Every structure is written in C-alpha cells, then in structure tokens.
Amino acid sequence: MKRFEMKAAGTFLSGIPACMVILSIGVVLTTWASWYNNTLERRALLDDFQHVFWRK
C-alpha cells in the first residue's frame, strides 16, 4: 500500500510542471512583498500624521 501511495504521489508531482510550481511561488512571494511594503508605508504615514496632530 505504501509503495503504491509513493508511486501515486510521484506521478502526481511529475504531472505538475516544475516551472508552474516556481511561477506560483514567485507570484505568492511578490504579492506578499508588495502587501508587506504597503502596510509598512501606511504605518509610516500614520506615524507622521500622529506627530503632526500631536504638535498642534
């Protein structure tokens, strides 16, 4: 049974092209990086706004 499962997993993995896997990982990383940068920018803007607000 285990040998059959291993063979099935191997055929399933080989059925998916490696380039597609790499592409999907790249897309996920780029979207996460852009979202992370956006949150950092928003935080910096909020900090600036708070400083200006508290000075007045």
Residue stretches of the chain with pLDDT short of 70: 1, 13, 55-56
Q: CB-based contacts of 22: which residues, under 8 Å, 6+ apart? A: none
Is residue 36 within a helix (H) or strand (E), and if so which, with residue range?
A: helix 18-55
pLDDT confidence of residue 13? 67
pLDDT confidence of residue 26? 92
